[in-house]
Amino acid sequence: MLDIQYIRQNADTLQEIANKKHIQISIAELLEQHQLRSHTLQEIEQLRQQRNTLTRGISEQIRTSADTAEEMKQRVRDINVQLQKLEQQASQVLEKYDALMAIVPNTVSPDTPDGESDEDNVLLRQIGMPPVFTFPARDHIELGELHDMIDTARGVKVSGSRHYYLKGNGVLLHRAVQQLAFDLLMGKGYTPLEVPLMVRGSALHHTAFFPLGMDQTFRIGQEDHWLTGTSEVALVSYYQNEIIDLAEGPIRLAAASQSFRSEVGSAGRDVRGLYRVHQFAKVEQVVLCEANPEVSERIHQEITANAEELLQLLELPYQVVAVCVGDMSQKTYKQYDIETWMPGRQAYGETHSSSNLHDFQARRANIRYRTEAGELRFCHTLNNTAVASPRILIPLLENHQQEDGSIYIPAALRPYMNGMELLAAPPVTIN
C-alpha cells in the first residue's frame, strides 16, 4: 500500500499506472472517500466531546436545577442518536475506503518499459543457444512417458485437469533441482525456513496477493484458510507487525514448498503437459532490506543473478526480459522475468520472476526497522523464484534429450541423482 498523502500528491500518475496495470479503480473516488472519512470522524469526535461535557455537567445541574439537568439529558440522548447514525455512516465509508486502498497499485520504476502485455516486455540478454536437433525431437510428455516418469492421464483421473504424477527418475529430477537451488541459496547466506502452506486471508492481504488475486487461490472449505501459490506469503508474513533488525544488513530467507494455483482464466491454455498445473513445488528467495532504492536495486540484480546461476548449472539456454507495466502485478515496482528455451513449444517459456516491491508490501504487513538515527521506517522487500518444478523439467528434459531417447544429466545435478550421468533410453520392444 501507499501513503494516502503520497497518493494525493501523485493522483494522476497513479491513475495512469492503474489503467496500464488493468486495475479497475478511481483514484479520485478514493480521495473523495478519504475526505468524507476524515470529515465524518471529525464530526463524531466533536459530538463525543459535546456529550462528555454535557454528561459531566448533568450531576452538577441536578443539585441546582432539575429542569436544566433534564434538558441536558435530552441533548445527550439526541447526540447519541446522531452518533449512532454517523458511526454507521463512518463504518460504510471506511469499508469503501479500505476496499479502494487495497487495490491502489504500486508505483513503477523509471526504467520499467511501457506496454500492455507480455508481448511488450523488453529483451535484456540471452544466455546460451537453443539446441539444433538432427532428429525429430520429442516434447517433455513424450520423453516422460518413454522413461515412465510422467503420467498425466492418471493425474487427471484422480484429481482432474492440470494434475499429474511423477514417477521414478521424474521424482528424483523434481527433488534434485529443488535441492540444488536450495543448496545454492544456502551458500549465499540465506536462512532456510519450513513454512505453512495454509495461511489466513490476512497474510495474503498483507503481502498484496489479496484482494486482486483471490480468484487464483484455493480456499479450505468455508474457513479463513487458503493454500498459498508461493512461500513468499509465509516468508514475508513471518515478520508482519514487527520491527526487524537490519543493523547487520539485509535479511535473506529461502523456503522450498508446495504451491497451489487455481489457474482461473487459463481455460484452454497450456492444457498439455506440465507448464500450467494446479500443484507445483517452488524454492523461493525473499529479501528484506533498508528503504534505500540503491540498495534494493542492487539486491534485485543479485536475486536475479541467483536464478540465472541455477539455469547455468542446469546448462539451459535462457533469456532475461524487463517486464512492462501492463504485465506487472499490483504490488510490483520493478520486475524481470527469466524465460528458458523449451524446444517442444519452440519458444522461451517463463520459469522465474524477480521482483522489487520497495516498501509497498512492508506497509501492508507493517514491517519496520530502525535507521541509524533511530527513525522507524518501512523496509523494502524483494522476491524471486530460485526454481519451480515440474515446469523446469520441461526444458531440462527437452533440451538434454539425445537421438536414442536418452537424457543427459547436467553435472551439477548428478550428486542428487545417485551419480547418474544419463537417463538411458528404455530398450525398444519388438512385437
CA-nearest of 279, 282, 259 to 162 is 279
Q: Name the maximum alpha-carbon separation found in the chain.
A: 114
Contact assessment for residue 288 and residue 235, using Cβ atoms and an 8 Å cutoff: no
Write the pLDDT tens digit of every residue in 402-427. Answer: 999 999 999 999 999 999 999 998 87
Averaged pLDDT score across all residues of the chain:
93
Apex CA 158: angle with CA 219 and CA 391, to 5°?
70
Active site residues: 261, 276, 350, 353, 391
The span from the CA of 10 to the CA of 108, in Å, is 13
The grid cell for 132 is: 539444433
Q: List, in sequence order, every residue forming a beta bridge with 340; answer none if it has no partner.
A: 318, 349
What is the Cα–Cα distance from 235 to 282, expressed in whole angstroms? 13
Superfamily of domain covering 4-101 = Serine-tRNA synthetase, tRNA binding domain (1.10.287.40)
CATH of 118-423, picked from 3.30.930.10, 3.30.420.40, 2.60.420.10, 3.50.50.60, is 3.30.930.10
Please report how many Cα atoms fall inside a 13 Å half-sphere around the Cα of residue 398, on the Cβ side. 29
Can you say whether the dihedral through the CA atoms of 215, 220, 225, 231 is positive or negative?
negative
Looking at residue 227, what is its pLDDT?
97
pLDDT at 266: 67
Listing from the earlier edge strand, what are the strands of the sheet with 226-227? 198-199, 226-227, 218-219
Q: What is the pLDDT of residue 420?
A: 96
CB 206 within 8 Å of CB 237: yes
The whole-number pLDDT of residue 271 equals 67
Domain ranges, ordered by start, for the chain: 4-101, 118-423
Identical fold for domains 4-101 and 118-423, yes or no, is: no
> So what's the pLDDT on residue 57?
64
| Cβ contact 356:333 at 8 Å | yes
- Ranges of residues in the chain with a pLDDT under 50 are none
Q: Provide the whole-model pTM.
A: 0.91
390: preceding bond cis by omega (within 30 degrees): yes
Q: Which three cell numbers stand for residue 101?
A: 486502498
Alpha helical stretches, state H, 243-328: 293-313
